[in-house]
Structures are given as C-alpha cells and as structure tokens.
Structure 1
Amino acid sequence: MNPRERRAARHRPPNPEAGSDPRPRRRTVPITVEQVVDTALGLVATEGYEALTMRRVAGALETGPASLYAHVVNKADLDELLIGRLCSELVLPEPDPAAWREQIRGVCAQIRDQYLKYPGISRAALAMAPTDLEIVRVSEGMLGILLAGGVAPQSAAWAIDALLLYVAAYTLETSIARRRSAHEDAEWVLDRDELLRRFTDLPAETFPHTTRHAAELTAGEGHDRFDFTLGLMIDGLAHGRPG
C-alpha cells in the first residue's frame, strides 16, 4: 500500500478477517509507525513542538525522510498520529446523567495534562479534521456524556468543539509562558507580584478599574483560571437544556 492507503487503513476499525493471507510478507524498511510516533513525541517533550519536523524525526531514527514517507503521508498526518496517541491514554467514564458536569470536566483535565507533557503539541490539534480512531473515540465519549446530561445534540456537538479548542489554546499559552520563563531575562512574564505592581502604579484617573481591581486581575494559582472557564462553558450548557 502507498502511504495514503496506509493512512486510510489506520482509520478503519479492525477487520477480523484481515491477516488471513498466507503469503509471507517482508518488511523493506525497519521502521514502524509506532517508532515514528515515539520518536516524534520524544523530540517534542525535550525541545517543544516547534522543533518537530519530518527531517528531525528522520535524523533521530538515523534514516532519511523518504523512509518516513513510506509510513506517514506528511506532517499533518504525523500531527494526527501524535494527538491520536495522546488520546489513547485517556480514560473515558460511562456516561452518568447525575455526574455529567464532573465527567466532562474530568475528560478535559486529562486532555490538558496530556498536552502539557509535550510543550506546544496542542498546536497539532488546531484546525484538524480528525479521522484517527482514538481521537474519534474521545469525541464519541464526550458526546455521550453531554447527551446523557440532557444537552441537545447540536449544542453538544458544538460544545465539544469549543471545549477542545479552549483546552488546546490554554495549554499552548501555558507551554509558551513556561518556555519564556526559562530565560532569565523573561522571568517577569510570569511574575505575579511584578504584574500587580505595574497595574497598581498606573494612573488611576486613566485606568480606574484596572488599578482598583489589580488583585483580581492577577489572581489565580495552578489551573484556577482553567477550571473557572470550563465551569462557565459547562454551566452555560446546563442552563440551555430543554426544561
């Protein structure tokens, strides 16, 4: 099969009759899709998503880019494989109408934590129209949770898009901020006290609200803002459910 046929085959459910061909097969290139994904994730974990290229992956595998293209169609295909691998690690609950809010929060938190292990990798999930079975499995699970909670199908479908987009944006921004803070001359970017001081030193006659509420504007530890925003989105769905 050519690379596009291989990609299509990955996105189909397993065929129980497959593998019955008795003819011996011989691997011409000693590289597997799994090795490509493992290597790519290793590069992202150590150097960030921006460093990821097909050439870098090939170099780490001590081969040429042509060997990768025998298994992966292009960089977009590799991106989908990476997100699919992360999604395969997610544990999806059995939908519970009484706990749907907590369940959807939990799935989003799992995705957040997976993305944060690999700086900037959520960029790979943006503008993606996935067909990878593991990614679709997560979307299916999230849809089941929202429908069990009484959310209308159209609202549930768009809510999943919005939630995944927010998780991707949040983790991308967090990854960028963390990498910037690693440089001594950029520590102030994450220095809450410095930001608070700058806000309170502004002329109050020009910035009355910013100076008065500087503490609120700079408040929050860990994932407080993430949890707050998810709460807004999920509570909005709850209020929009049919009576």
Structure 2
Amino acid sequence: MASTPQQRRAARHHQPVSETGPRRGRRAQPITVDAIIEAALDIVAREGYPALTMRRVAAALDTGSASLYAHVVNKDDLDELLIGRLSAELTLPHPDPATWREQLTGVCGRLRDQYLRYPGISRAALAAAPTNNDTLRLAECMLALLLTGGVAPQAAAWGIDALSLYISSYTLEISLLGRSDREWLVGRDDMLQRYAELPDAFPQTKRYAAELTAGADHERFDFTIGLILDGLTRRS
C-alpha cells in the first residue's frame, strides 16, 4: 500500500477505469478519499466553487485540515479528483460511424450539465490536465468519436482541447452570471434598448441587436459545438 499522499495519487492513475461513479449517499467514517470528494461536491453544489477550501471540507467532515492531507495531496489534487468523479459518472457511447457526431454532441451536453450542477467547478477543469483514469476515459471517448468521424489524428487531438475549453468556459460564464452579487446585470430587453440608443458610430451593432442578444436555453452552446465539429470535418 502506498505510504504517502503523493504515492497514493500516483497509484490512482493506475487503477482500473470506473465504469460508473461511486454512489452518492451518507458519508461514513473513517475519512476516505470518497468521503472527501462527497463533502467537497456538496459544498460546491450549495455555495459554488469559490467557497471550496480544504478547511471547509475538513469542517464538513468534522475533522482538521491535517486529516485530509493524509489522503489528498493538496487543493489541486482535490480538484483533479472532483473532475474525475464527474467524468466517471458520464455514460459514454461506443463510437458509431453513422451517428458519431450526434454521439459527441451528446457527450458534450452531458458534461456541460454535470458542470452546471456544481457552479464554477469547471474552473478546476480549466486548470487540470486529464491525467487520471476517469478524465482520460472521457478524453479517450471523445478522441475515438472524432477519429470515427474521419477527423485527422492531429485535428482530433486539438479538437478535444477546443471542445473541452469551450464547455468549461461556457459553464463558468453561466456560474458567474448566476452569482447573487451580479444582480446589477441587465436583461435582454435592457440590452436591446441600450443598443437602440447607441450613436451612429455603431451601425452594425444597432442593426443586428436582435441577433446579438438572441439565444434561449443552450442554443448558443449547441451552435458553437456544431461550429467546432464543422470546422474539424471540413479540415479533414
């Protein structure tokens, strides 16, 4: 058995890939990596990612921060574990040449929804490379789908990066807009009024104000994912 948190972290990278994520439920003692993950996700779900600290997790588990470091190396390691857990819970398809595009769009949408359940958590994904088995499982699926669709290997590799960055930034933006201290932000009607009152130095903005402010639900998200996939297939 690995004797230090660093060794245990390295060992996790060689564990079998999870078919599904661990079930959520009541935390049990003694403190374990799973208990730490559960407590951290609960904090993020209720208060947002900025509220997540090792001290807060320790308090939620009714212990001291030092107890966590017996299982988790540091906050960055915890972030990697959180993104790994969310990735492990995704149902991933077997690549189908006839429907690969719809399959990949579905994976992107499910990852988006996972991040939106935990406001701001995609900030952790932006700062972490996919190195553990659960995040690599997701990257492997996305790569396989692009290759199945005839995308060249280098374009597929960079395509995964582009898709992942967009999903993370999109969900992060939504979490920032949803913060309670952002109530001063204006709605679409106010934006349309603002654009209508612009001076003539902004002719295109005034003319296409409706288009610039359009988009309900995740229409912009779907458009951008489609745009990326169009570009990848066209290049190939």
Question: What TM-score do the two structures reach when normalised by structure 2?
Answer: 0.91
- For 1:64, the equivalent position in structure 2 comes to 64
- Give 1:188 shift: 5.1
The higher-RCO structure (CA 8 Å, 6+ apart) is 2
Worse-superposed segment, 89-98 or 66-75: 89-98
- What is the alpha-carbon distance in structure 2 between the residues aligned to residue 77 and residue 13 of structure 1? 16
Task: Determine the C-alpha separation between the residues in 2 that align with 1:30 and 1:68.
Answer: 11
Contact 2:130 2:139 in 1 (8 A): no
Residue 42 of structure 1: how far off its partner (Å): 0.2
- Alpha-carbon deviations, 1:53-96, whole Å to 9, x = none? 10110011111111000000000000000000000111111101
Instruction: Provide the C-alpha distance between the structure 2 equivalents of 1:188 and 1:44, rounded to a whole number of angstroms.
Output: 23
Q: Aligned partner of 2:192: which letter?
A: L
In the other structure, the counterpart of 2:192 is 196
- Give the TM-score, by structure 1 length: 0.89
Q: Please state if 1:52 is matched with 2:47.
A: no
Q: Distance in 2 between matches of 1:143 and 1:190?
A: 39
Amino acid at match of 2:207: R
Give the 5 Å matches for 1:12-161.
12-14=14-16, 30-161=30-161
Q: Shift of the alpha carbon at 1:240?
A: 1.4
Residue 13 of structure 1, CA deviation: 2.9
Per-residue Cα deviation, 1:24-58 (whole angstroms, up to 9, x for no partner): xxxxx820000000000000001100010101100
Q: Percent identity?
A: 64
Unaligned runs of 5+ in 2: 17-28
**Is 1:7 aligned to residue 3 of structure 2?**
no
Q: Per-residue CA shift, 1:199-236, capped at 9, x if unaligned?
A: 11111x21111111111111110101101111110011
Equivalent pairs, count: 222
Superposed CA RMSD in Å reads 1.2
Determine the structure 2 residue equivalent to 1:25: none
**Aligned with residue 215 of structure 1, among 178, 199, 210:** 210
Give the partner amino acid of 1:52: L
